[in-house]
Amino acid sequence: MEANVIARRLYAAAASDPSALLDLLAPDVVLHDPGSHPNGGAHRGRDAVLAFLGASSSAGASMEVLDVMGGSHHAAAYVRVRADRGDARLDNLTVHLMRIEDGRVAEFWFHNRDQAHVDAFWSAVLPAGAGAA
């Protein structure tokens, strides 16, 4: 299966079906979220990725997938991430690069358009220590 198909299924599952999401993640998946905010860093394993998504959701984050590109082993998704919490607002265009192995996402790298804005938002809405293990 092509990487872009796996990526599209992953985002659809993230929005509606967490059990299907687990099937699309390699057991030792790593999500690299840049920056100096509490949720930044390398999140290793399915549980850590789910905790990352949970922390993001608890702060009101939503993703809109604008486009997905891919080949046989890699995919890139162009994504708009929005969140509102109190007076803090986030509207960030980001690229999610994915490495695919055996039909599952093995590794993610997030590349934010405005990293300073992302750091400021997540630092304002997440508790210290919420980040990567």
| Amino acid 69: pLDDT | 97
pTM of the model: 0.91
Note the pLDDT tens digit of each residue in 83-93.
988 888 999 99
pLDDT surpasses 80 at 14? yes
pLDDT surpasses 90 at 131? no
Which pLDDT band holds residue 1 (cuts at 50, 70, 90)? confident
Which residues, in sequence order, are bridge partners of residue 97? 76, 109
Helix (H) or strand (E) holding 111: strand 104-112
| Amino acid 27: pLDDT | 97
| Amino acid 35: pLDDT | 92
pLDDT surpasses 60 at 100? yes
Domains and their CATH numbers in the chain: 3-125 (3.10.450.50)
Name the 3-class secondary structure at 82: strand
- Residue 41 phi, psi dihedral angles, 5° rounding: 115, -170
| Amino acid 132: pLDDT | 59
Average the pLDDT over 65-75 and give the result. 96
Q: Position 7: which residue type?
A: A
Question: What does the block give as tokens for 80?
Answer: 């708009």
Nearest residue to 3 (alpha-carbon basis) of 63, 91, 72, 102: 72
